[in-house]
Amino acid sequence: MVDPIRRVLVKQPRDAYQSQSQVDEQSPLLNYFGTPDFDKAQAAHESLVAFLESSGAEVHYLPKDNSTSLDSVYTHDPCVVTNGGVVLCTMGKVARLPESSAIAKYFESIGVPILGQIEAPGTLEGGDVVWIDERTVAIGEGYRSNAEGIRQIKEILGDLVDEVISVPLPHWTGPADCLHLMSNVSPIDHDLYLVYSRLLPVPFREYILGRNIELIEVPDEEYDSMACNVLAVAPRKVIMLEGNPVTQNRLEEKGVAIHTYDGLEISIKGAGGPTCLTRPFLRTTE
């Protein structure tokens, strides 16, 4: 999750939102914290994509699909990418269920294999999946990903992994809001993670430390502004929302190069940071 991104899938707000009137209609139904501005969201997204391209990533665009909602701008969640292919998710948020089919069509069109699919009553969302290494994956178990979904992906992954770790997530603000494991953990390098420890189970936090992974703590006052949602485009090279100076300083003290963007429209209002807005599907050091 930290090697250089070579290929990444995004969806432009103009294709996810389609119009300001649709944004106005859907945002309260999707439990957004505010109504995004269509034009400002597109401009912010273009800035993020420009940085991805400047970092050497080949950017792919998920096309418009009338079956999906505003949330489809968050391309990370409808699937999980593995070394054997893509696992399609059954989303815990009912309004997002059509997104997995839409993303499957795109991957099939470019020759990326589909390894399997989570079936109801199992649920799984990509934001709950953290690869500790190529053979070890941690999955948050909460309102978005359940025990049956975790059981199914373990079965689908088979010999591709040695260990699947279920990480219980807290109730926090309840089932209507979005709390993923990656809301509280962002890999920055193979031996460096950004975390919000107050929402991590003690056994999992100790497990990470036992892997000789250093933790950088997000302060309480910057958690709601999504300081913990950080995308590594390469080891110690990240994208994060602007307006989180304490977290940014702590990262920079560890030699992390940081690109920030204005996340008000595309991140804060819809509760999806740079990790949520991107689905890397090829990372390699070569």
CATH placement of domain 5-283: 3.75.10.10
Domain residue spans of the chain = 5-283
For range 141-165, the mean pLDDT:
97
List the beta bridge partners of residue 239.
231, 259
Percent of the chain with pLDDT over 90: 97
> Residue 150 is encoded by which pair of tokens?
């975790």
pLDDT of residue 176: 79
pLDDT of residue 285: 84
Given a contact cutoff of 8 angstroms between Cβ atoms, the answer to whether 230 and 2 are in contact is no
Q: CA 189, CA 104: separation in Å to the nearest integer?
A: 29
Q: What is the pLDDT of residues 163-174, one digit of tens each?
A: 999 999 999 888
> Residue 40 is encoded by which pair of tokens?
């400002």
119 has a pLDDT exceeding 80:
yes
How much of the chain is helix, strand and coil, in % rounded to 5?
35, 25, 40
pLDDT of residue 136: 98
Residue 57 CA: distances (Å) to CA of 15, 76, 107, 235, 281: 21, 16, 17, 14, 10
278 has a pLDDT exceeding 80:
yes
Exposure class string for 41-61: b at 16+ Cβ within 10 A, else e: bbebbeebbebbeebebeebe
Q: What is the pTM assigned to this prediction?
A: 0.96
For range 170-180, the mean pLDDT:
87
